Amino acid sequence: MEDILRPLYQERTSQQNTLGVVAIEKKEQEASFTEGFDAILLTIVKEAETPVFIKHYLYQEKKAALYIVTESRMKEWLLLGSNRKFIEWIYHGRVLFDRNEYIHEIKKEMREFPFFGRKIKMTIEFSKLIRRCTDGRAFFRNGQYLDAYNSVMHSLHHLARLAVIESGFYPEVTVWLQVKQIEPEIYKLYEELVTSDEELEKRLELLFIASDFLIHSRTENGAAHLLSILKEKEAWTFQELLDHPEIHYYAVDLSVLLEYLIEKSFVQEFRVETKGQGVYHRYYQAVAD
C-alpha cells in the first residue's frame, strides 16, 4: 500500500509547510474505522487556504482518501473532541513522515493528556451534559418521552466522556468500552436506559434520580475551568464571560451552565442598578471557598 500511495504525499514532505503524514489501513473487522476506505493518508500542514481538503483515489480495485488538515483545525478537534474519528486516526495511525518529531509529540501529548487540556475539555463536556439534562427534564415534564429519551441518551454519553477525561484518559470513539472499565456505575445507567423492561416514562424517571448524584458529585471538577476564570476578578457580566477567549469553546451552553452553578451554590449573582427604576444589571461571581 505504502509504495503505491507514496506519490500522493511524497512531494509534500519536501515542503516546509508539511508537519507530518500518517497512514491508516482498513482492518476487516473494523471497516467503519476508515469510513469504508482501504487506506487513509492524513497530512498535517501549518497553513492552507482550506482547513480541511479531501481527495478520493482508486488503486488496485481499492479506495484511498487523502486528508490535508491545517494545524489549527487539528488542535481545535483535539481540544473540543468534535472529530473523534480523526483523533483516533492520529493516535493509532502509522507515521510515514514526521518533521522535527511533530506527530510524535502530538501522540505523546494525547497519551499524557496535560492538565490544562483535561480541565477545559471537562468543562466543555460538563456544559453539554447540563444542557442535555435540562432539555431532557423539560421534555419529560411536558410528556414528550421520546425527546426526553434522546436528550438523556446524549447526556449519558457526555457523562461517560467526562468520567474518562477525569480519569486522565483521552475519550475514544468506543467510549462505552472505556467507561465500562473506568466507571461501571455510569455504564449500568446506560444499560438500564436501553435494555430495561420498564415503561419508558418509568425508566426516565428512575434515571433522572440516579444520575443526579453522579452529576452533582462531578460539578466542582466539571466546572473547574469556568470557576477558575470567574475567580480572576470580583464580578463578571455575561458578555464579559462570552468575550473570554477560552470560554468561547463552550459559549453556546454558558447560560444554562451558569444557572445550574447558581442553583448548586457554586456561583452567585448580584444586582447593580441601571438608569431604569427597578431594573438591574446581573453580575456573576464565584462563591468563595
Mean pLDDT of 261-267: 95
Mean pLDDT of 90-107: 92
**Residues linked to residue 4 through DSSP beta bridges, in sequence order:** none
pLDDT, the chain, mean = 90
pLDDT digits (tens, 9 = 90+) for 172-231: 667 888 899 999 999 999 999 999 999 999 999 999 999 999 999 999 999 999 999 999
Q: What is the DSSP string of 23-69?
A: EEE--GGGGGGGTT-SEEEEEEES--SSSEEEEEEEETTEEEEEEEE
How much is the pLDDT for 279? 87
pLDDT digits (tens, 9 = 90+) for 239-262: 999 999 889 889 999 999 999 999
How much is the pLDDT for 85? 85
Buried b (16+ CB within 10 A) or exposed e, 71-82: bebbeebbeebe
In this predicted structure, the answer to whether residue 284 has a pLDDT above a threshold of 70 is yes
User: Domains of the chain, with CATH numbers?
Assistant: 2-111 (3.30.460.10), 115-273 (1.20.120.330)
pLDDT digits (tens, 9 = 90+) for 122-181: 999 999 999 999 999 999 999 999 999 999 999 999 999 999 988 888 776 678 888 999
Instruction: Tell me the whole-structure pTM to 2 decimals.
Output: 0.77
Q: Please give the grid coordinates belonging to residue 176.
A: 462505552
Amino acid, single-letter form, for residue 274: T
Helix/strand/coil (H/E/C) assignment for every residue in 237-280: CHHHHHHCCCHHHHHHHHHHHHHHHHHCCCEEEEEEECCCCCCE
Amino acid, single-letter form, for residue 39: A
The owner of cell 444589571 is: 281
Contact of 85 with 58, CB cutoff 8 Å = no
Mean pLDDT of 45-72: 93
pLDDT digits (tens, 9 = 90+) for 67-92: 999 999 998 888 777 787 888 899 88
Contact of 184 with 88, CB cutoff 8 Å = no
In this predicted structure, the answer to whether residue 29 has a pLDDT above a threshold of 70 is no
In this predicted structure, the answer to whether residue 289 has a pLDDT above a threshold of 90 is no
Exposed (0-12), middle (13-18) or buried (19+): which is 252, by Cβ within 10 Å?
Answer: exposed
In this predicted structure, the answer to whether residue 113 has a pLDDT above a threshold of 80 is no
Helix axes 175-182, 184-195, angle to 10 degrees: 120
